[in-house]
Amino acid sequence: MKQSLIHTHMTKTPFELAQEQVKQGLITTPSVSSGGSEIDYFGYQLATHKFNLRIMSSGMKCRGIKFTDIKKYYGLKGRTAKDCLPQFEEIFAKYKEALK
């Protein structure tokens, strides 16, 4: 009996792809400064999206960004912002830990 090999290919999220492209020098990120010093662009992006997602999870809307944009960018699974918030917080924590 012949067994078929199943190739599992994990696709990367747009967030992960952007990080890789920056590391490879294929794209550059905008400079972000706070208090007169440069801060990490992806960290800033995560903090901003965390703020937006928390607002959305409480039932309010944010101007300038949609829930589906955040959901697709980070590869979140769930119907509502409240469903996706724990997944996003995990991504946020992993990124923050990697900066140490």
| Residue 55 CA: distances (Å) to CA of 25, 58, 67, 69, 82 | 34, 5, 10, 15, 10
Look at residue 87 and tell me if it is in a domain. yes
Which residue type occupies 59?
G
Taking alpha carbons only, the member of 39, 100, 27, 42 closest to residue 74 is 42
The total number of structural domains in the chain stands at 1
Instruction: Give residue-wise pLDDT tens across range 20-47.
Output: 999 999 999 999 998 999 999 999 999 9
Look at residue 3 and tell me if it is in a domain. no
Look at residue 62 and tell me if it is in a domain. yes
Alpha helices in the chain (DSSP H): 14-23, 41-57, 67-74, 81-99
Look at residue 95 and tell me if it is in a domain. yes
- Kindly state the tokens that stand for 78: 């769930």
Look at residue 6 and tell me if it is in a domain. no
Residues paired with residue 32 on neighbouring β-strands, in sequence order:
39
| Model-wide pTM > 0.85 | no
Instruction: Give residue-wise pLDDT tens across range 53-64.
Output: 999 999 999 999
Look at residue 4 and tell me if it is in a domain. no
Look at residue 61 and tell me if it is in a domain. yes
